[in-house]
Copies of this chain bind each other. A is one copy, B any other.
Amino acid sequence: MGIGVKEKKDIIVMKFGGTSISDTDKIKKAAGKAIKAKLSGCKVVIVVSAMGDATDNLINIASSINKNPSHREMDMLMSTGEQVSMALLSMAIQEKGYDCISLTGKQAGLLTDDIYSNAKILSVDKERLLKELGSNKIIVVAGFQGATPAGEITTLGRGGSDTTAVALASALGAKYCEIYTDVDGVFTADPRIESNSSKIEMLSYDEMLELASSGAKVLHLRAVEFAKRHNVVLHVRSSFNDIGGTWIMDVEDSDKKMEKPLISGVTHDTNQVKISIFGLYDKPGIAAKLLGGMAGKNINVDLIVQNVSENNLATISFTIKNEDLNSARKVLENIKDKLGIERIEVDTEVAKVSIIGEGMQTHPGIAAKMFDLLGQQDINIEMISTSTIRISCVIRKEKIRKAVRVLHKGFILDK
């Protein structure tokens, strides 16, 4: 490109999570990464979470004052965490001699609905962002927060900062959105269980969605869904080194797809409870009533198995997250008589192991191999659930490490 030719610079969005900016040294490191991106010729928008355990500290002090604070006031309180981070990171960048400005969610144009503590992004008003980028500034935006059209401060709920980053990347047409975290990327299995696991170079959105929903904690489901819907390229990487991380993008039409392995990763989730309900009337719609009651209380039911016994009574087993157990008990108590429930069993000693990979769509026999591998290790499969690119099995919790290892060896290492 010749001198004098006005170049349209790429915009990139960089998101730093709480562990990546938990002290002043780490904030300075994050500033260094932002400046490096800027010097490489990009326009840079940064999204920050609250520092380290700032959010937990605020929750604790609030709960010592009010056990059930209003969501509006909680959002007012919580949003300060990201505001502190963004001001400090902006100061760190300015200290190195670069122009920088921090913006609250409201100032950055993140318009949300008024569901406090779990707000949805309605739109991003880009005017201010484009103005600051136009004057060549690095922008630091508070993640996790936005404002209603009336100017009330809201927060986006779990995974909110990731979602902010993806939303901004989408609105600005960013080249990609980098999610900086405390690990090198998405791994083929949890490295704490399987030391031979390795970083995955590339994933499709659907694979990442299945990984996130089946136990991988590195990216929040909601942000991945947003990225998929708006085709935002994600790059999950470490804030503590310069090694490339895991790219998440649409690989449908790409040559890359050819190179993709059959199975991308093995995940596990020990945060599971199995509830079994015996003696249900076996009438159409009985499962729907049961699950509708759970959905009404925002309880996410994961795997479900229904059996019909001889005397026209049904048994339904399903898994939920540990933290939903109390709410689930209340729902069941309310509908117990109506559905003719005879007996409820709660089993907290279960866990879920999953294999995920787009390759399985075109390779029959994957499920059989999975069951065989588990069987060889005397691991009993209690429930099974599948999608087109995932197979999950509920097993005894005590066998979960063994299960992850044998599946990782069988599908990833011996590919």
Interface string of A172-211 (1 = CB under 8 A from B): 0000000000000000000000000000000000000000
Interface check A163, CB cutoff 8 A = no
Contact partners of A79 in chain B: CB under 8 A = 83
Instruction: Give CA–CA (A27, B83) in the complex, Å.
Output: 23
Instruction: Give CA–CA (A76, B84) in the complex, Å.
Output: 8
Contact partners of A67 in chain B: CB under 8 A = 95
Contact partners of A104 in chain B: CB under 8 A = 76, 153
Query: Which residue of B58, B73, B94 is within 8 Å of A69 (Cβ)?
Result: B94
Task: Tell me the A87-120 residues at the B interface (CB within 8 Å).
Answer: 87-88, 90-92, 94-95, 101-102, 104, 106-107
Q: Which residue in chain B gives the minimum CB-CB distance to A69?
A: B91
Q: Which residue in chain B gives the minimum CB-CB distance to A151?
A: B107
Count class of interface residues, chain A: 35 or more
Query: Which residue of B64, B94, B153 is within 8 Å of A66 (Cβ)?
Result: B94
Contact partners of A90 in chain B: CB under 8 A = 70, 73, 76
Interface check A28, CB cutoff 8 A = yes
A73 touches B58 (CB 8 A): no
B69 touches A76 (CB 8 A): no
A88 touches B65 (CB 8 A): yes
Interface check A360, CB cutoff 8 A = no
Query: Which residue of B74, B76, B84, B102 is within 8 Å of A58 (Cβ)?
Result: B84
Interface check A224, CB cutoff 8 A = no
Query: Which residue of B70, B80, B91 is within 8 Å of A94 (Cβ)?
Result: B70
Instruction: Give CA–CA (A74, B74) in the complex, Å.
Output: 24
The verdict on A74 contacting B87 (CB below 8 Å), with A64-B24, A65-B24 known, is yes
Report the minimum CB–CB distance from A394 to chain B (whole Å).
Answer: 40
Instruction: Give CA–CA (A74, B150) in the complex, Å.
Output: 26
Report the minimum CB–CB distance from A69 to chain B (whole Å).
Answer: 4
Counting from the closest, the 10 A-B pairs by CB-CB distance are A77-B87, A80-B80, A66-B95, A66-B91, A76-B87, A69-B91, A73-B87, A73-B90, A24-B64, A80-B83
Could you show 16 A-B contacts with beta carbons less than 8 Å apart?
A: A24-B61, A58-B84, A62-B88, A65-B92, A66-B95, A67-B95, A69-B94, A70-B90, A74-B87, A76-B86, A76-B104, A77-B84, A77-B91, A83-B83, A107-B151, A107-B152
Given contacts A62-B88, A65-B95, A80-B87, 18 further A-B contacts (CB under 8 A): A24-B65, A61-B88, A62-B91, A65-B91, A65-B92, A66-B92, A66-B94, A69-B94, A72-B101, A73-B94, A73-B102, A74-B91, A77-B84, A77-B88, A79-B83, A104-B153, A106-B151, A107-B152
